[in-house]
Amino acid sequence: MYKLTLTYFDFPGGRGEPARLAMTLAGIEFEDFRFPFADFNKIKEQTPLKQVPTLTVDGRQVTQNNAINRFVGKMAGLYPENDYQALLCDEIMDGIEAVTDKIVQTFGLSAEKQKLAREALVDGPLTQYLKWTQERLVEQGGEYFIESRMTIADLKVFVWIRSLNSGHLDHVPRTLVADIAPKLNEHMQRVAQTSAIAEYYSS
């Protein structure tokens, strides 16, 4: 087994959370190195691209969150063996990453610009990607995204939907998911009720 350290912000969401969840679900031992937002300027200087999350694998610090998700997903038995199913799993993960990136780009904006940018996201890409993601879920039977079982794609979507529902994103209505893609809320509940995940968030 590898010696693993996941480096990410100390909050239960964002780009580092799916990998934490996958390793937790599978009981994979790893150092969960969490740091407060205030330390980011210091921490990022110790990373290859001034970004987190990183996964350090036997001393080698690796960047790119979906690359990390895929790697830990395989270790955790949460990634399809079949190449076509793996393609569909990757499509979901990269789709969510693309729309997440659009939100992240609004973080540094002034209040007025952020409001305009977020409203444009809500009307445009967020609605579009929510509909697309829900269609993909329905196409696969409505319970899970791939192979009717939990995979890393479900964890990626779960973290995204929780974030949209949280009310922490100003100008993104907490009812957006319920209004646009209610089946993604049902999916979010399904994942949340998985015993290892329920236990993780209650502890």
Could you identify the residue written with the tokens 């949460």? 78
Residue 50 binding a copy of itself, by CB under 8 A: yes
Closest distance between a copy of itself and the C-beta of residue 192, in Å? 26
Cα–Cα distances (Å) from 156 to 2, 39, 97, 119, 188, in that order, read 23, 25, 9, 23, 10
Strand 54-57 relative to strand 60-62: parallel, antiparallel, unpaired? antiparallel
Closest distance between a copy of itself and the C-beta of residue 199, in Å? 27
Would you give the binding string for a copy of itself spanning residues 143-182, x where CB under 8 A is met?
A: ----------------------------------------
- Do 79 and 23 meet the contact criterion of CB atoms below 8 Å apart? no
Q: Which stretch binds a copy of itself (CB under 8 A): 88-96, 114-122, 163-171, 193-201?
A: 88-96
Q: Which stretch binds a copy of itself (CB under 8 A): 5-13, 85-93, 106-114, 162-170?
A: 85-93
Residues 14-33 that bind a copy of itself (CB under 8 A): none
Token duo for residue 87? 């393609």
Residue 16 or 95: the one with the smaller Cβ distance to a copy of itself is: 95
Residue 71 binding a copy of itself, by CB under 8 A: yes
Task: Please calculate the CA angle 68-106-113 and round it to the nearest 5 degrees.
Answer: 175
Backbone angles phi and psi of 100, in degrees to 5 = -60, -40
Count of residues touching a copy of itself (by CB under 8 A)? 31
**Interface residue with a copy of itself, options 10, 39, 87, 119 (CB under 8 A):** 87
- Do 181 and 131 meet the contact criterion of CB atoms below 8 Å apart? yes
DSSP string for 98-156: HHHHHHHTTTTS-HHHHHHHHHHHIIIIIHHHHHHHHHHHHHTTSS-SBTTB--HHHHH
Residue 44 binding a copy of itself, by CB under 8 A: no
Q: Which residues bind a copy of itself (CB under 8 A)?
A: 2, 48-50, 57, 62-64, 66-68, 70-71, 74-75, 83-84, 86-88, 90-91, 93-95, 98, 101, 128-129, 132, 135
